[in-house]
Every structure is written in structure tokens, then in C-alpha cells.
Amino acid sequence: MVSKNELKLITSLQQKKCRDREGVFIAEGPKIIQDFINAGASLVKLLSLKGQFDGISVKVEVDPKTLKKISGLKTPNTAFAIFKKFPESKITRTGLSLCLDGIQDPGNLGTIIRLADWFGVSQIICSEHTVDCYNPKVVQATMGSLARVSLHYTDLAPYLKQHTPIVYGGFMNGASIYETQLPKDAILVMGNEGNGISSEIERLIDTKVSIPNMGSGQTESLNVASATAILLSEFKRSTGK
Amino acid sequence: MVSKNELKLITSLQQKKCRDREGVFIAEGPKIIQDFINAGASLVKLLSLKGQFDGISVKVEVDPKTLKKISGLKTPNTAFAIFKKFPESKITRTGLSLCLDGIQDPGNLGTIIRLADWFGVSQIICSEHTVDCYNPKVVQATMGSLARVSLHYTDLAPYLKQHTPIVYGGFMNGASIYETQLPKDAILVMGNEGNGISSEIERLIDTKVSIPNMGSGQTESLNVASATAILLSEFKRSTGK
């Protein structure tokens, strides 16, 4: 059984301020919940239909009606979990780091976190106006990668000023990424979906890079997650692990 | 004014069978509508708020209430257009072609069409169980690219059997794309989000390629649109325009 007050609290976790206050995030669906458990995430509460996650002490069996009430998805899943947020790790200064200057779409951030995990980029530094990485839509899109990539929210300008590696930025009018010498230690900055990298941050970029348009030239831009995929691939291909 | 019957017809265009019957597709929002107009798409009807698209003969001025009724979006936009579907062009046999074996997510297909346009891949051959490229969510995600890439829906197996270029397929266990010699004329097959390339099609693949996992190895896979972005980039980088 879940009390009315508990239901109210759980529903409130769709909002950032409530997640921040409680220090938790939510995930829906047995596959993604299992991914987070396997990755060592700390489970606070698990609400699920009968016959799933048996043996988990914090599991509460609920009916489909209750899941429907708390779900943020169009089609509620069979399990809903509350996890503790991951502890903040220290920012490292070696290897390739990703900086996000105002990514707004949760699906894009989720995809980018998954890409970082794939390419062994262990940290992502986000501007304060980047969408919350614990937003339920981000969590769903990361497919568990959120447990393996550490995200930091900070004022990007001071961070970039004090940082030593060369700062690259994804622009429409930069040098071809295919013809740019790329180092192992670097920061790659990607900008907002509509406006790109802000002018304040643009001043702190050492080298602007682009993905050459090989089509008719009428396509305005690539989706930021697609562009991040290609740029990360190029950094990793040309510098090796 | 839009009559009740017209409203009913317009609303029905969210469904594939009605779009197929009428030979049309819909797009929402002034930016994407303008993109399609610029790309030469044939406008059948345009419903928009006052002060937009003046001088367009098929424009009907409507109020926000009417737009709300016909919109497929959570937040209805200020303009709604009906375009004629693009005429089917002939399948070409040179250059790089993309084959999609059962992509289901409209956002993924839209992103892939935009990528193809960016990299000058002029045709995409889709299996019959791939999501409809005129699905409104696909249309919105292509950002006008749908006008510049020709899509064909067909039974993939006979198509691949009669085709001459080498057939590459994106797999989890293929050869590293970074270490594979790639030709200018080729077919790249990408599979379904959950199940990958079907076993029937797998038999027709000449070379399996992968994007090496450079992270902890715990990430199961990349999103299919991200993987397509990286593979297309590698084909185009290594073979030039």
C-alpha cells in the first residue's frame, strides 16, 4: 500500500525543485531500473506490479491504477523507482571533457550522456541554463549511462577561463573537424539547439570546428546530439583511447 | 472559415491511411512550413493566425481555437499546412545509400533523414515495417530535409539481392568502422531500435561494421540515430564528396 501523502510526494518528483529537496530522481520501466541497479545506483523506493523485482526490500507492490497516477509517461510502465542522486565527483582536468552551453531538450541531453559514456568521456560540464540531468525524460533517454558519466552544473565562463586544455567549440562556420589536429586533452563545447554557443562563451573558444555539409547546402544545421556524436567520434578516432 | 467537414478531414490526416488516401502530409509551425515552401513542396492548404503567410492564395485565416482542434502537438503552433506528398523518384545505384530495416521511432527517422541530407545521401530505402516518413512527428524532426531526400518503402531482401554495391550493416560485433576500407558506392543498412538488423537481412550483408566502445563497456548500445550519424560521417570522411 502507498498512502495518499506518499503518492503526492512521489508525483511531485516530476518537478526539479522537489527532486532537489529530496536528493532523488525517478526512473520508469523494469529495464532501465535494472540498469541503474546494476550500475550501483542507490534505490530508495520501488513501486511495481506483482511478479517483478522480488527480493528487493524497498519494493512495494502496486496495482496498474497507482502506476498510472504517478507515471510521467503516456503509457505507464510496470515499475517505477526512486533512486538517490549520484554523489558529485571532482572535476578532472585530463582527457576529453564535454561542455554544454544551454542544451534545452531532455532527449538531446539524454542522448549526449549516452554518447559520452560510449566514448569514455567521464564528465560533462553544463551551464546553469542547461536542462536538469535528473529530468525524467533525460533519465529515460540515458538508458543507465547517467550512472557512469558525472555531470556538473556551473557557470561555464569561469570554468573555461581557469581550465588548461585547448577549448574547441562546435560551430557552423568552424574549421572542418576532419582536417583539424585534435589533442587527447581537450574540452569540446556544444551550444543550445536554436542559438548555438552564447557570445560570452564563444570568446573563450580556442578553435571553432564544424562538420562539413556535403549535401545541397540547404540543410541549415544538424541536430545537436547528432553533431556531438560525430565530433566525439572524430576526437576519439584521431587520438585513440 | 473552415467547415466542420473540412476540420474532420484535416484531423484525420494524423493517420497514415488518410494521408495515403489523400496523397498529402501535414506540417506545423511557420518555420518548418516556410522550409518546405522554400524547398519547392506543393502547398494544398494553409491554416494560420492573422498576420502570417499573407499573399499565399491557399491560406485560410483561423483562430487559435481552430488550430488547437487540428494540432497534433501538445502546444499548438500558429500555422498548420497540408502539402502534397513528394513524387517518388527512381532508385539510383551509385553513391552511398541508406537502408533502414524497421526503424520505429519517428524522432529517429526524422533525425536520420536530416543526417542523410547533410551528408548528401540522396536516397533512403526503408523496409515496409519502418515508420511512415510522412508521420507528423517524422516531418517535424526532419526540419525540411524530407523535401531533399527521397524515401522508398519496399521489401528490403529483393532490393539488396539485386543491388551491386557492397552492403555494409551496423552491428554491435562488426569490424571497427575506423579500420574498415570504405568505398564511394555502398549501401549502409541500419536496424531496428530494439532488435537491430533482422536475420533475413543480416544474411545479405557483406561487411558488418561497428563503432568501437571506448568507455567502460557497460553501455549496451548507441541510439540508432547517433550510430547512423557516426557511420555516415566515416563513410563521407574517408571517401570524400
Q: Where are the domains of chain A?
A: 4-84, 96-239
Could you read off the pLDDT of B184-206 as tens digits, one per residue? 999 999 999 999 999 999 999 99
Q: Please indicate whether, in this complex, the C-beta atoms of A215 and B39 are within 8 angstroms of each other.
A: no
- Written as one letter, the residue type at A40 is G
Could you read off the pLDDT of B145-190 as tens digits, one per residue? 999 999 999 999 999 998 778 999 999 999 999 999 999 999 999 9
Average pLDDT, chain B: 92
Strand bridging mode B24-28 / B43-48 = unpaired
Q: What local confidence, expressed as pLDDT, does residue A177 receive?
A: 96
Q: Supply the CATH classification number for the domain B96-239.
A: 3.40.1280.10
Q: What local confidence, expressed as pLDDT, does residue A163 receive?
A: 74
**Is the minimum CB–CB distance between A179 and chain B shorter than 8 Å?**
no
Q: Please indicate whether, in this complex, the C-beta atoms of B215 and A148 are within 8 angstroms of each other.
A: yes
Nearest residue in chain A measured CA to CA from B110? A223
Is residue B1's pLDDT more than 60?
Answer: yes
Q: What local confidence, expressed as pLDDT, does residue B93 receive?
A: 80
Q: Supply the CATH classification number for the domain B4-84.
A: 3.30.1330.30
Range from A5-14, B47-56, B57-66 that averages highest in pLDDT: A5-14
Tell me what the mean pLDDT of segment B64-82 comes to: 89
Q: What local confidence, expressed as pLDDT, does residue B226 receive?
A: 97
Query: What are the chain B neighbours of A233 within 8 Å (beta carbons)?
Result: 211, 230, 233-234
List the single residue in B119, B220, B234 with the smallest CB-CB distance to A215. B119
Distance (Å) from the C-alpha of residue A157 to the closest C-alpha of chain B?
28
Q: What local confidence, expressed as pLDDT, does residue B116 receive?
A: 96
Distance (Å) from the C-alpha of residue A129 to the closest C-alpha of chain B?
22
Is residue B97's pLDDT more than 70?
Answer: yes
Q: Using alpha carbons, select from B177, B12, B223, B204 the residue that is nearest to residue A114.
A: B223
List the single residue in B38, B144, B216 with the smallest CB-CB distance to A148. B216
Q: What cell was used for A163?
A: 581550465
**Is the minimum CB–CB distance between A74 and chain B shorter than 8 Å?**
no
What is the distance between the alpha carbons of residues A54 and A30, in angstroms, rounded to a whole number?
12
Q: Could you give the dihedral angle defined by the CA atoms of residues B85, B86, B87 and B89, in that order, rounded to the nearest 10 degrees?
A: -140
Could you read off the pLDDT of B108-148 as tens digits, one per residue? 999 999 999 999 999 999 999 999 999 999 999 998 899 99
Q: Using alpha carbons, select from B157, B116, B169, B119 the residue that is nearest to residue B138.
A: B116
CA A84 to chain centre: 16
ipTM of this predicted structure:
0.92
Q: What local confidence, expressed as pLDDT, does residue B241 receive?
A: 55
Q: What is the pLDDT along chain A (241 residues), one digit of tens a residue?
A: 788 899 999 999 999 999 999 999 999 999 999 999 988 899 999 999 988 888 888 889 999 999 998 988 888 889 999 999 999 888 888 899 999 999 999 999 999 999 999 999 999 999 999 999 999 999 999 988 999 999 999 999 999 998 778 999 999 999 999 999 999 999 999 999 999 999 999 999 999 999 999 987 777 789 999 999 999 999 999 987 5
Query: What are the chain B neighbours of A230 within 8 Å (beta carbons)?
Result: 229-230, 233
pTM, entire model: 0.93
Q: What cell was used for A218?
A: 540547404
